[in-house]
Amino acid sequence: MGKITINESLCKGCEMCVNACPLHLLELDKSRLNVKGYHPAHMTDMSKCSGCKSCATMCPDVCITVERD
């Protein structure tokens, strides 16, 4: 199992991490904006994350860190 941390204040809502997640566990939080005025990415179900790091690899702004158990 993996644990991801998203630095939401740096996220620009580009959706590259959303598209990269093979389990489709990431989405943009359309209910709020970050300090830059973007909808930040967020994890929908951390318990299903495999820790593959695809999201972190694809993030152009290095907003995502992944830890594996």
Per residue in 8-56, pLDDT tens?
999 999 999 999 999 999 999 999 999 999 999 999 999 999 999 999 9
Q: How confident is the model over 57-67, as a mean pLDDT?
A: 97
CATH of the domain at 6: 3.30.70.20
| Burial of 62 per CB tally in 10 Å (0-12, 13-18, 19+) | exposed
Q: What is the rounded CA–CA span in Å between residue 11 and residue 26? A: 13
Considering its fold, how many domains does the chain have in total?
1
Confidence (pTM): 0.90
The domain in which residue 28 lies consists of 2-68
Measured CA distances, 26 to 44, 58 (Å): 6, 13
What does residue 46 show for φ and ψ, rounded to 5 degrees? Answer: -60, -30
Contacts of 59 (CB under 8 A, 6+ apart): 16, 17
